[in-house]
Each structure stands twice: as C-alpha cells, then as structure tokens.
C-alpha cells in the first residue's frame, strides 16, 4: 500500500512529541507499524552522514519515481540535539532531497528513540553504502573510531567486512590538506592509484597532478599499470616445419615451488595431447 494512501489516525493532542504530525498506519511485507508524515522543512541531514556527494541525475530519476509512486519506504530520523524542533535524517536523505525536487511538503518518517543504538547503526550503514568516495569513506571510518563503535583498525575492518589494508589506506587520506581534499572531491577523483601518488607528492605539487588527471585521465591507467606484477616469459614453445622449437630465459631463477608448478603444468599438457 502506498503510504500516502494509508489510513490516517490523529494522535492524542496531549502528546506533545507528535501532536503536530499525522500518524499513519501502513503495512508492507517488511514492516507493520506507524509512520509520521513530517514537514520536509523540519528535516535536516544527519550531522555524521558519510555521503557528501549526491549525483544530480540520480536524484532527478528518483524524483520522477516518487512523483509517480510516492515514497514507498519511510525515512528514519532522530530529534536533533543542536537544532530545536528539527530532526536529523539517519537514513533516507536521498529520498528527502528527491521529495523536495518534486515539491512534497511532508514525507513519511519513523522516529527513533534510542539515540546511541541508532547512531551506531547509522555509522556502520553509512560506510557500507555503495559508490562512496574514498574521502567520504575516510570520514565514516574515523567517525566509527571516534564514537568508540570500533576500537582499532582490525575491529573496524571486521565489523564493516573489508580488509585491514583498505582501512589503513583510507584513513591515511586524513594527512591531505583540506584544499587538496576539496579538489579531489570537486573533480571526483576516486582511483586508489591516483590517491596514493597524491599522498606521496609534496603539497605544492598536488594541484598540478590533479590538473594533469583532469586533462589526461590515462595518467591513472599508467599508474595502475606500474603497480601490476611484471610478467616474465620463462619458456616458449613453437612449431616450425613439423619441428618443435623452444626457447628459455636462463636469467630467470626459479624457486622450488615454481619448478614443481611448471613440471605439473607440462605433465598435464603432455597428458592432454592425443
């Protein structure tokens, strides 16, 4: 059932917390309960939100869907401690932004009460979102450490489900000056190879390198190629006038494991020849 067509109940006027909202009973496969239709102007982004970049095209597409079908999944919100009468959006900021594009005055929301649990869940969900920029991910990782949700890099990696190397590498971006971070975000530079190079460069060279990436994206591909393990041609076999010829690079030294692997491969090739 579309939430905006659900049966509306009006709460007891003595209940101050929700007296200004419409309470909506709505049912779906995943949830059965009450939502509150809250004015969009009373909602503000979650102050610890990891995502800073919202793709305009994606928002426009979502707005079209909302215009046709309404908001099918309510936002989750918390009363703001900093802005009186406002609510921070724990999840659903994209829906809120798209609803504003359409011109909706109210959106369905679930008001969370357990602030500590909600903030921990929000922080973890934030860093698990797809397509986050590495700098957004960096802020998310740091928030998890600052809030005590994770005590160290390894615990953070285990809780999020990523490798510790990614955590350490992402957090190393904190060392970049704010001016460089702004340039990286504005130009949507995400490639890990490029970010590694920027970290190694002196600050005075950051803008020049970033400008080079903008004008010639192949620079990133070049950095990626440099990091690929070099392939060595150890042994080659040829057929020439019914003769079998081979060449071997005697300068390449093999360890025992490599020798056994090559022997096994050659035996399998010989066995497969009819």
Output the average pLDDT for the chain.
79
Residue 247 has pLDDT above 50, yes or no: yes
Q: Which of 10-19, 50-59, 62-71, 250-259 has the weakest average pLDDT? A: 10-19
Per-residue pLDDT averaged across 33-45, rounded?
A: 86
Residue 10 has pLDDT above 70, yes or no: no
- Beta carbons of 79 and 111 less than 8 angstroms apart: yes
Closest of 23, 38, 31, 37 to residue 1, by C-alpha: 31
On the 0-12 / 13-18 / 19+ scale of CB atoms within 10 A, 136 is: buried
- Beta carbons of 182 and 191 less than 8 angstroms apart: no
pLDDT digits (tens, 9 = 90+) for 72-129: 889 989 899 888 889 999 888 889 999 999 999 999 998 887 877 777 777 777 777 7
For 57, 192, 254, the CA distances from 220, given in Å and listed in that order, are 25, 9, 33
pLDDT digits (tens, 9 = 90+) for 119-173: 777 777 777 776 788 998 898 899 889 888 888 999 888 888 888 999 999 999 9
Residue 6 has pLDDT above 50, yes or no: no
Q: Which of 2-6, 138-142, 165-169, 186-190 has the weakest average pLDDT? A: 2-6
Q: How many CA atoms lie within 13 A of 82 on its CB side?
A: 7
Instruction: Please give the pLDDT value at position 29.
Output: 33
Domains of the chain: 3-113 (3.90.1530.10), 114-175 (1.10.10.2830), 181-250 (no CATH)
Instruction: Please give the pLDDT value at position 22.
Output: 47
């Amino acid at each position: 059932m579309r939430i905006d067509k659900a049966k509306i109940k009006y709460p007891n006027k003595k209940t101050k917390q929700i007296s200004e909202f419409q309470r909506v009973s709505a049912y779906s496969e995943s949830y059965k309960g009450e939502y509150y239709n809250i004015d969009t102007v009373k909602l503000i982004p979650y102050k610890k939100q990891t995502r800073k970049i919202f793709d305009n095209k994606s928002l426009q597409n979502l707005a079209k869907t909302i215009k046709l079908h309404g908001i099918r999944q309510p936002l989750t919100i918390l009363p703001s401690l900093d802005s009186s009468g406002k609510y921070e959006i724990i999840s659903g900021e994209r829906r809120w932004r798209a609803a504003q594009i359409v011109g909706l005055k109210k959106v369905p929301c679930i008001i969370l009460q357990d602030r500590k649990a909600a903030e921990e869940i929000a922080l973890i969900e934030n860093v698990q979102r797809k397509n986050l920029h590495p700098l957004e991910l960096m802020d998310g990782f740091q928030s998890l450490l600052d809030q005590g949700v994770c005590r160290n890099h390894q615990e953070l990696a285990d809780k999020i489900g990523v490798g510790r190397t990614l955590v350490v590498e992402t957090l190393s971006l904190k060392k970049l000056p704010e001016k460089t971070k702004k340039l990286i975000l504005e130009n949507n530079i995400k490639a890990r190879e490029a970010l590694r190079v920027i970290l190694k460069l002196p600050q005075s060279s950051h803008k020049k390198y970033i400008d080079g990436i903008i004008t010639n994206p192949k620079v990133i591909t070049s950095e990626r190629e440099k990091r690929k393990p070099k392939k060595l041609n150890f042994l080659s076999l040829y057929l020439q006038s019914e003769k079998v010829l081979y060449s071997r690079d005697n300068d390449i030294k093999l360890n025992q494991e490599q020798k056994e692997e090559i022997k096994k491969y050659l035996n399998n090739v010989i066995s497969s020849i009819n």
